[in-house]
Structure 1
């Protein structure tokens, strides 16, 4: 980043913060401090905590805080500001109050504008901002997928720490709901595999750290569902078993990438479990398929039927100019 661009960013931050202070806008001031133009460092825990506290209170206060955050995210063309806004969104997902989380969850789902759709984000001032832009696009997509998965699960990922409660909850789901949850977790892992390569930037390193934390949470939820699938072996309908095999194959395809990206992914017991459940389910699919073939009545045709079929095949018709077929 050029010195002039860096200086302009500092001046913008100072001017915006001074204006917010004069107008006594606590939420805006906290947000500006947490999402400065400095691309060399992530927001501090202190500034993120201040931003969270500014949204504490009744639903209207929380709604205003989330709205200000999303407006800043969508209104900026600066990669550092966008990444820090996304870090703040991620912080709400993992550590925010229930009311803040509730207000955040409606944004991609309420039928209105998707504030996390930054697939076309570009900041091309210099090589640094160009690289950061790819992280903006990826982290926005990851954060959106995190919200979508949390909505499907019925709780925000990372907020449920009791393994026994997670297992009890999974055991109470029907096969269809369990498969839907599992597919959302697989999609989240597939998104993690698309993470750009780190470049040593401290802001990027913070995002890598957050992604590793998400992987730890997601793989724990995956384990719970894999264990439940093993318990239910033999109780799936044919279509459910096929869907499960497809999800497990998608997950298997993530193994190599996850092992290369995440030290925490090197626990091979998870991947062994994925392969085991996939093999078990494939056997069930084969059995159900064989059963369907046995139970399907075979249609018998006489020689005259087969002859008629050959003669009346459309390839053997002759088309006359009148349009008649012979």
Structure 2
């Protein structure tokens, strides 16, 4: 098993270096392609900040929409093509971080894309190279479902509940409330199913490995 895992890591590193080499020669988006490959590499380590920042820049509001669309498509392709749980989880982390820390306009583009291409529906994803990889595959699928529900919640609510700030309902008010807290009863009843589904997906993201909690 140890020899197999060593060979698998070496093969993963070779694939990453090959993709980087091809991007340097053939890609019109060389810097972005290289950043995505390196941020979502086969190495068992979180995405490096310098690569994530390059992706942030590529998805910012001042960039051409065609460039942003290319970035989304490339991340989507990276997720759909891989059968390695490390690459998959790092791709989801990058997407999640852009949603939280990147330009707000990216959410709109990603919502539009996800309605057309259900790239976060990876119910068939599995990495059966080891018992750990098998268990991690289930968590990858759940994490993807959570991000998909997060986008759907943003589409319905028209704001990001994860990033909303407390505001005063009136200039003379002494108490600050969230935007959700200021909804009318009718608005809350309309949005409640999406909020409940998002909470459910979040709870399901509790990590369980090898039968342990």
RMSD over aligned CA atoms reads: 2.4
Match of 2:45 in 1: 41
Instruction: Work out whether 1:108 is the aligned partner of 2:104.
Output: no
1:95-244 counterparts in 2 under 5 A? 95-109=101-115, 112-164=116-168, 167=177, 169-170=179-180, 173-199=183-209
Q: Per-residue deviation at 1:172?
A: 6.3
Match of 2:82 in 1: 76
Q: Per-residue deviation at 1:171?
A: 6.8
Instruction: Work out whether 1:23 is the aligned partner of 2:23.
Output: no
Match of 2:56 in 1: 52
**Would the aligned equivalents of 1:9 and 1:37 in 2 still touch at CA under 8 Å?**
yes
Worse-matched range after superposition: 26-35 or 161-170: 161-170
- Larger RCO, structures 1/2 (Cα 8 Å, 6+ apart): 2
**Would the aligned equivalents of 1:27 and 1:55 in 2 still touch at CA under 8 Å?**
no
SS of 2:161 mapped into structure 1 = coil
CA distance in 1, matches of 2:181, 2:12: 52
* Structure 1 unpaired stretches of 5+: 200-260, 262-326
- What is the aligned counterpart of 1:89 among 83, 91, 95? 95
- What is the TM-score when the length of structure 1 is the normalising length? 0.56
* Structure 2 unpaired stretches of 5+: 170-175
Decide whether aligned partners of structure 1 residues 6 and 14 sit closer, same or farther in structure 2, where only a CA change above 3 A counts. Answer: same
Which structure has the larger Rg? 1
Decide whether aligned partners of structure 1 residues 169 and 191 sit closer, same or farther in structure 2, where only a CA change above 3 A counts. Answer: closer
SS of 1:193 mapped into structure 2 = helix
Worse-matched range after superposition: 69-78 or 173-182: 173-182
Q: How many aligned residue pairs are there?
A: 198
